[in-house]
C-alpha cells in the first residue's frame, strides 16, 4: 500500500505579470449583478491543517479513487500532500507534479480571454451573442453575460451524451466535434429558462464562449490561451491539445467508475475531450492552477473593471455563487474562496484561492462518476483555508453559516443524478 506523503517548502519565486489589457438546476439569480455578498473575512487565515487534509485524501482513496493529492501555495510556502497512485497498472505514487485533465476549470480560462477582449474594446458583455455570431442562437436576447454566467437558458447537451456514463464516454472518446455540432445538440432540446431569468449550468454556454474567442480573434482558442494566459504566467505544465488524445509528459491516469456496480474502472486518460473543448479540455498541474487563480484574483490578468464584472454573483445555493466563469464558495470560518471545480472522465478537480490571491489550493482525485469521492474532495477546502477543527469551530460560531450542501455532478450532465 502506498502511504501518504506531505512536503512543505518555500516557493522559489513569485510570478509577476503586467496587465495584458490596455484600457480600463435552475436557480433564481438572487445575487445577480452584485459584487458584494462575501462573508467578512477573519483578520488572518489560520495555518493549513495538513493532518486534516491528509485524512481527507486517504478517505477519498478508500472510497474508490486510485489516488488523491492537494497542493497549497500559502503566499510562497508550499504544502504538498499525496495519497495513492497515479497509475493502477504500475503502482506509481501520484505526484503534485502530475499533469491531468482539469475539466470545467477550463471555463475560467475561457472567461479570462473574453474579458481581456472586453478590455480591448472588441466585445461587450451586454450585447447579444448573435451580434457577433449571426444566427447562431434562437433568441437575440441572449447576451455574452448570460452565457458566461450560465443564465442563457441553453440546454446542456451532456445530459443526453452522458446519461450512461461509460457507454456515453466510449461513444465520444475518439470523436472530433465542431463547435456548431455541439450547439446543434443543445438546440434540439427546449431551453431551460428565458435569458437572464435563472442560473442553469450548461456546457453549451462555454462552447459558445469558445466560438466567440475564435470569431473575434481569428485564432484558435489554443492560440489565445497560450498567448494571453499560459505564456505570460509561465504555466509550463498547461496545455490545450484538442483534438489530440494524449497528455504530454508525466501525468495521472484517469479512471471512470463503471455504471455497473463492482465492475473494473475504465481508464479514460486518452480521449479527444472534443465534447468539451473550450468548456473543459485544458490540461494542467496543481502548481499552474494555483498560479493562475492567484494571478487572476490579484488582478494580473485583466483590468479592475473587468474583474469586478467577473465577480458579480448569481446565487447557486446556500454556500455557492457563480460569476462569469468563476465560482465563489463560502466556508465555515467566514471567508469566501474563488475558483472553479472540474469534472471530466477520470478526474475531479477543486482549484480555489482567497480574495487576495495569497493562499491557493488545488486538489485532485483521479476518478469520476463517484459522488462519494466528489463530496469527500469538496471537504479539502475547509482544512486548506480554515485550519484545524478547533479553529474552524470558533470561526463557525462567529460566522453562523448554513450547512454546506452536498456536491453534485454539475460540470458534466448536471441534470443526470448519480449515486
Active-site residue set: 104
C-alpha to C-alpha distance for 209 and 276, rounded to whole angstroms: 12
Confirm if 6 and 95 have CB atoms less than 8 A apart: no
Q: How far apart are CA 413 and CA 203, in angstroms?
A: 9
Residue 89 C-alpha cell reads as 497498472
Cα separation, 127 vs 76, whole angstroms: 40
Q: Strand, helix or coil at 5?
A: strand
Q: What angle do CA 242, 412, 81 make, to 5 degrees?
A: 80
The answer to whether the beta carbons of residues 36 and 328 sit under 8 Å apart is no
On the question of a cis peptide bond just before residue 243, with omega within 30 degrees of 0, the verdict is: yes
Query: How large is the greatest C-alpha to C-alpha distance in the chain, in angstroms?
Result: 58
Q: How far apart are CA 99 and CA 366, in angstroms?
A: 11
241 by Cβ neighbours in 10 Å (0-12 / 13-18 / 19+) ranks as middle
Angstrom distance (rounded) from CA 351 to CA 43: 23
Residue 413 makes CB contacts below 8 A (sequence gap 6+) with: 156, 158, 159, 161, 162, 163
Neighbouring residues of 183: CB distance < 8 A, sequence distance ≥ 6: 136, 137, 204, 207, 208, 211
Amino acid at each position: 500500500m502506498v502511504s501518504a506523503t506531505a512536503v512543505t517548502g518555500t516557493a522559489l519565486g513569485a510570478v509577476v505579470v503586467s496587465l495584458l489589457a490596455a484600457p480600463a438546476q435552475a436557480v433564481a439569480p438572487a445575487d445577480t449583478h452584485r459584487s458584494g455578498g462575501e462573508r467578512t473575512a477573519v483578520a488572518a487565515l489560520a495555518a493549513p491543517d495538513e493532518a486534516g487534509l491528509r485524512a481527507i485524501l486517504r478517505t477519498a482513496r478508500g472510497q474508490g479513487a486510485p489516488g488523491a493529492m492537494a497542493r497549497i501555495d500559502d503566499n510562497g510556502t508550499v504544502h504538498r500532500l499525496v495519497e495513492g497512485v497515479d497509475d493502477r497498472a504500475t503502482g506509481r505514487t501520484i505526484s503534485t507534479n502530475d499533469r491531468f485533465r482539469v475539466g470545467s476549470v477550463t471555463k475560467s480560462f475561457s472567461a479570462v480571454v473574453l474579458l481581456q477582449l472586453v478590455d480591448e474594446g472588441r466585445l461587450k458583455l451586454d450585447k447579444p451573442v448573435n451580434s457577433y455570431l449571426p444566427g447562431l442562437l434562437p433568441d437575440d436576447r441572449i447576451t455574452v453575460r448570460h452565457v458566461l454566467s450560465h443564465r442563457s437558458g441553453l440546454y446542456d447537451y451532456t445530459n443526453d451524451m452522458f446519461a450512461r456514463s461509460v457507454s456515453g464516454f466510449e461513444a465520444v472518446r475518439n470523436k472530433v466535434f465542431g463547435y456548431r455540432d455541439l450547439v446543434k445538440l443543445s438546440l434540439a432540446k427546449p431551453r431551460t429558462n428565458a435569458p437572464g431569468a435563472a442560473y442553469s449550468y450548461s456546457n453549451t454556454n462555454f462552447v459558445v464562449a469558445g466560438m466567440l474567442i475564435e470569431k473575434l480573434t481569428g485564432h484558435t482558442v489554443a492560440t489565445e490561451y497560450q498567448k494571453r494566459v499560459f505564456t505570460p504566467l509561465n504555466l509550463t505544465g498547461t496545455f490545450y491539445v484538442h483534438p489530440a488524445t494524449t497528455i504530454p509528459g508525466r501525468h495521472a491516469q484517469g479512471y471512470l467508475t463503471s455504471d455497473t456496480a463492482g465492475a473494473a474502472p475504465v481508464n479514460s486518460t486518452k480521449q479527444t475531450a472534443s465534447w468539451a473543448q473550450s468548456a473543459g479540455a485544458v490540461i494542467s498541474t496543481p502548481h499552474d492552477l494555483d498560479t493562475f487563480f492567484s494571478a487572476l484574483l490579484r488582478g494580473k490578468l485583466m483590468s479592475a473593471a473587468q474583474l469586478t464584472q467577473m465577480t458579480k454573483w448569481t446565487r447557486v445555493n446556500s454556500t455557492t455563487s457563480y460569476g462569469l466563469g468563476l465560482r465563489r464558495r463560502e466556508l465555515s470560518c467566514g471567508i469566501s474562496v474563488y475558483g472553479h471545480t472540474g469534472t471530466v472522465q477520470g478526474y475531479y478537480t477543486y482549484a480555489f484561492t482567497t480574495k487576495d490571491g495569497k493562499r491557493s489550493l488545488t486538489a485532485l482525485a483521479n476518478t469520476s462518476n463517484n459522488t462519494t469521492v466528489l463530496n469527500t474532495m469538496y471537504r479539502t477546502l475547509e482544512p486548506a483555508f480554515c485550519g484545524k477543527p478547533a479553529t474552524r469551530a470558533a470561526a463557525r460560531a462567529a460566522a453562523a453559516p448554513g450547512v454546506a450542501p452536498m456536491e453534485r455532478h454539475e460540470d458534466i450532465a448536471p441534470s443526470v443524478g448519480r449515486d
